[in-house]
Chain A
Amino acid sequence: MNSFLIIIGVLLVLVTLYYLFRVQILASVLKGSYKKRVGVSNKVNAILFPIFFIVMFGSVFLINGTMSKRYLPESASEHGVITDNLFWITMAVISLVVVITHILLFYFPFKYQYDENRRAAFYPEDHKLEYIWTIIPAIVLSVLVFFGWRTWSDITAKAPENAVSLEIMGKQFAWQVRYPGADGIIGKYNFRKIDNKSNEFGMDLADKANFDDFVPREIHIPKGRPVVFKIRAKDVLHSVFLPHFRQKMDAVPGMPTTFWFVPKYTTSEMKEITGNPEFKYELACTEICGRGHFAMRYILVVDEPEDFEKWQKEQQSWLSLNMDYVDQIPTDLRKFIPNYSTEKIDTKVETVVDTTGSKVDSLSNKISFNN
């Protein structure tokens, strides 16, 4: 019933509008305004341009104030401070260009609206003017692009030697992170070794660098030290976006990518800066990857360097949590498993491992770690 009434209402409005339109045409015909070159409308349109200008730039001016309070807090990475500056400088330049061109663009229609007693100027070209407005933008752009290029080169330069590194992998629809562990080396992987159980990274267990790698639930990085993200994707494209750090890079299956930056503020410092006790650094996906693209949130924590070291020490290696994978490790390499003593394993287990590998469950209970 309701929707019926709505439909009737809409129809009535449309019919009314239609008749208004017809009356308007008749009135114009009677007034003979179709015979004149321009009518009153020309004046109305002419004056609407300056009005539009005032309303448009006025509201932008007003809203800029409120919006700026919502912008991301100051950059939490060192390079971000530079790019933010460059951004706002460029913004100022282009805003100026927009305002000046629009003053002219919206004033001229008003000023030079049709007047039958006047003739337009015959002014087909002016080389001097044209040179000026070719060269000035060219110079301004060159300056901007020069600083942009310097910054870009710095940001994309090779990461310093002492950088903390971690691996992040995008998959539908989550992120996974792996740290190198005590040896400082992220172990090799092979996508064919990925399985449906725990080896989501496809860690190649023939590489002993993998033995101490750990897979935490959130990213921790130390303040003030360069951090390298080694980025990969498991299935389709994803993109690692860290808005607070002004950093972004696609995750590409088959082509590892990377970025690095130096965090400036710890999470708790950021809580103070933003005045938000709940503040968390968030990571988002910015490359369309399917159904859950919008919900690939991940948390990143910036610690004081000491806290970071402590946190790192507390982490248990992936292998220690997934003992059933030990059977994939060549026997001669098992001695490299940290804190893992082969002696403690009774021979019975050893044979199980060697022969089948299918009784992994019973096995994992028996292997022991001395933490």
Chain B
Amino acid sequence: MSVVDLNKETAVGHDSHGHHDEHEHHELNFIRKYIFSEDHKVIGKQFLITGLLWAVIGGALSMIFRLQLGLPEASLGWLKPILGHWITSDNKLDPEFYLAAVTMHGTIMVFFVLTAGLSGTFSNFLIPLQIGARDMASGFMNMLSYWFFFVSSVIMFFSLFIETGPAGGGWVIYPPLSALPQAIPGSGLGMTLWLVSMALFIISSLLGGINYITTVINLRTKGMTFDRLPLTIWAFFLTAIIGVLSFPVLFAAALLLIFDRSFGTSFYLSDIYIGGQALDHVGGSPILFQHLFWFLGHPEVYIVLLPALGITSEIISTNSRKPIFGYKAMIGSMIGITFLSFIVWAHHMFVTGMNPFLGSIFMFLTLIIAVPSAVKAFNYITTLWKGNIIFTPAMLFSIGLVSVFITGGVTGIILGNAALDIQLHDTYFVVAHFHLVMGSASFFGFMAGVYHWFPKMFGKMLDEKLGYIHFWLTFAGVYLVFFPMHYQGITGFPRRYYSYTAYEMFGGAYQDLAFFISIAAFITFAGQFIFGFNFFYSIFKGRPATLNPWNSNTLEWTTPIHPEHGNWPGEIPTVYRWAYDYSKPGAEEDFIPQHIPLTETLSSNLPHETDALNGIKITPTH
């Protein structure tokens, strides 16, 4: 049971722990309240702010390498004050720094922004509020989770500035490259810091995940059965399960890599001649690392995506003023995705020399996972059908998510086909695929979530007009940036290339496309500062929020505008219905929040609800 400071409470919740002593007054000091806080809402906001800062850094890194790709002739001397010796004497970007930038961009975006930033923020913030709990199962573990993430962040950030540069072997850190400092300077101290940082990150993620799972299972308020949970919670719950099962494997992979790097073991290394000498390592397999990595890596893409999908389900339903279409199917497909995401990992390895028969198996499994994904997309679209749609910025980002999820997802069908992946693997086609389906979709979900729950987080409203501009600019932007990459990919452009001029087949004719992409990227990135401004401006000067600004059904809107630690000043509301009673025929309003009992909505109750009601009513008379 959560140990929460409930001294502000006036009434006792039905499941509260009865230690409410009105006289026992201990106001938390600033540090306990805002820094080492155990309040899930504060922790959520901590994840949010840290995640946003990381997004700026990760984005800025991509600007640097887009400069190189789009304007290879440009003189980058003006970056010298920031990048120092990574700008060569002829004012060009150092090729090794290019790789480091790509690596750090990937790592930061996948783990720090879209895992910690997205899951960390919204799982923390929303799980207790939406299931009707006073806090997480363990506030202390939750606090630890953030601070492990914080330390991990500090280390990763620090690694950007060391002499030999940060890790530079790609975000997938395949050995032997990542194991041998002789091979690339980033595999020296930079890689060590990467591994340490990621180890801490994994701990953070596990602490968080275990907490989310426990909380959802144990602390749901009365009436909040699993089949009444909002889809956000289902998504966070399943995401946490994926994380808890897959992150330890990455931990193991990283640990073995640390052994290989520092203690002379040969898990991943064999038959290597480098720097003028044959290394002692024999018998290891670089492929083993790839299996371990992608055993996390593929589930990871869903760790990143599912919360965004959950957020979108909630927002699309609320703002279409319509129940989400196929609630059960949505849950079913998420469970399907969760399960399948563990058995498709080797589709990242079709051309690594893995047994082709194994390739066939993974090809079949991979294409199965496209089915639940398709079901989700269709369900979103049908939710819009005959809705009564209000375009809040959150709603716009949610519709945008569905769009990029589809355009990015369908190319997975091509990549999942091993025969076709031979040509496309490690080309820009893959870059286009995952930036749309994972990068953009999850980022849109993230933004949608911030726009939607900002009033609950800060008691203020974000400016809508700026939100609209932000959305349309970003929506057009991601398509302008990532769509053309398909063309590059079909033409064979490999990923992680500093320059394409060495080749005739990737020759000059394509520079126009690269230039175009870069300009679009600069504008899109700059556009994000509209959001940045809106965010910080509104925290301080935004319009005050109302209690339930979007007329939403979920429980978080039953808390005060500025909920204290403990969330509800009085009793925790009991839940009587699912979260999607929007525009129910016979109801007065176009929404019926979850805590409204069936007895108050006689005119709109469905036949089975009426039956249930009668059943309940009859019982006491017997």
Contact = CB atoms under 8 A, between A and B. Distances in A.
Given A49-B399, A108-B381, A252 B476 contact: no
Contacts of A291: 95-96, 99, 184
Nearest to B178: A236
A86 B322 CA distance: 40
A369 interface: no
A279 B177 CA distance: 33
Nearest to A119: B583
Contacts of A202: 273
Contacts of A237: 174, 176-177, 286
Interface string B367-411: 110110011011111101111111100001001001100110011
Interface string B569-585: 00000000000101111
A192 B277 CA distance: 8
B384 A112 contact: yes
Contacts of B66: none
A155 B422 contact: yes
B465 to A, nearest CB: 6
A298 to B, nearest CB: 10
Contacts of A83: 419-420, 422-423
A105 B487 CA distance: 24
A233 B476 CA distance: 43
A125 B328 contact: yes
A237 B180 CA distance: 12
Nearest to B172: A288
Contacts of A98: 406-407, 410
A236 B580 contact: no
B327 interface: yes
A97 B286 contact: no
Given A46-B389, A115-B388, A192 B417 contact: no
A93 B381 CA distance: 19
Nearest to B266: A254
Interface string A230-272: 0100111101010110111110111101100000000000000
Interface string B487-514: 1001110111111101111100110000
A114 interface: yes
Given A97-B406, A254-B286, A52 B499 contact: no
Contacts of A243: 423, 491-492, 505
B176 A253 contact: yes
Interface in A118-154: 118-126, 129-130, 133-134, 137-138, 141-142, 144-145, 148-149, 151-153
Contact of B177 (A102, A234, A286, A289): A289
Interface residues on B, range: 35 or more
A286 B423 contact: no
A90 B420 contact: yes
B483 interface: yes
B468 A45 contact: yes
B398 to A, nearest CB: 11
B74 interface: no
Interface in B324-382: 324-329, 351-353, 356, 359-360, 363-364, 367-368, 370-371, 374-375, 377-382
A196 B490 CA distance: 39
Given A286-B495, A288-B170, A288-B174, A90 B399 contact: no
A26 to B, nearest CB: 12
B435 interface: no
Contact of B284 (A67, A105, A254): A254
B284 A235 contact: no
Contacts of A121: 322, 385-387, 583
Contacts of A290: 96, 99, 168, 177, 183-184
A312 interface: no
Residue from A90, A130, A234 having most chain B Cβ neighbours under 10 A: A130
Contacts of B590: 119-120
Contact of A254 (B276, B285, B323, B475): B285
A345 interface: no
A280 B584 contact: no
B418 A152 contact: yes
Given A87-B420, A172-B274, A67 B487 contact: yes
Contact of B322 (A120, A133, A239): A120
B463 interface: yes
A292 B99 CA distance: 10
Interface string A188-207: 00011010100000100000
Residue from A90, A112, A121, A122 having most chain B Cβ neighbours under 10 A: A122
Contact of A94 (B391, B410, B463, B497): B410
Interface string B587-601: 000100000000000
Contact of B476 (A52, A112, A244, A282): A52
Given A52-B475, A293-B99, A101 B381 contact: yes
A170 to B, nearest CB: 12
A285 interface: yes
B616 interface: no
A124 B577 CA distance: 14
A101 B386 CA distance: 16
A91 interface: yes
B273 A294 contact: no
Interface in B429-478: 463-466, 468, 472, 475-476
Interface stretch (A36-44, A175-183, A332-340, A359-367): A36-44
B426 interface: yes
Nearest to A134: B375
Interface string A96-117: 0110011011101100111100
B285 A241 contact: no
A287 B487 contact: no
Nearest to A64: B487
Contacts of B497: 293-294
A71 interface: yes
B95 A294 contact: yes
Given A109-B399, A294-B497, A149 B360 contact: yes
A45 B378 CA distance: 22
A206 to B, nearest CB: 17
A48 B399 CA distance: 12
B586 to A, nearest CB: 9
A156 to B, nearest CB: 3
A28 B461 CA distance: 14
Contacts of A248: 351, 422-423, 425-426
B509 A70 contact: yes
Residue from B324, B417, B495, B584 having most chain A Cβ neighbours under 10 A: B417
A30 interface: no
B390 A114 contact: yes
Contacts of B141: none
B235 to A, nearest CB: 18
B414 A91 contact: yes
A130 B378 CA distance: 9
Interface of A: 21, 24-25, 28, 34, 37-38, 41-42, 44-46, 48-49, 52, 56, 60, 63, 67, 70-72, 80, 82-83, 86-87, 90-91, 93-94, 97-98, 101-102, 104-106, 108-109, 112-115, 118-126, 129-130, 133-134, 137-138, 141-142, 144-145, 148-149, 151-153, 155-156, 172, 191-192, 194, 196, 202, 231, 234-237, 239, 241, 243-244, 246-250, 252-255, 257-258, 278-280, 282, 284-295, 297
Given A119-B583, A137-B370, 18 more contacts: A104-B384, A105-B402, A123-B325, A126-B382, A152-B363, A155-B422, A172-B183, A191-B271, A194-B278, A235-B180, A243-B423, A247-B422, A254-B284, A255-B286, A282-B504, A288-B170, A288-B496, A294-B497
26 contacts: A41-B468, A94-B414, A98-B407, A109-B391, A114-B321, A114-B388, A122-B322, A122-B323, A122-B582, A144-B367, A144-B413, A148-B417, A152-B356, A152-B419, A155-B419, A192-B278, A241-B426, A246-B423, A248-B422, A253-B176, A258-B353, A284-B492, A286-B495, A290-B99, A290-B168, A291-B96
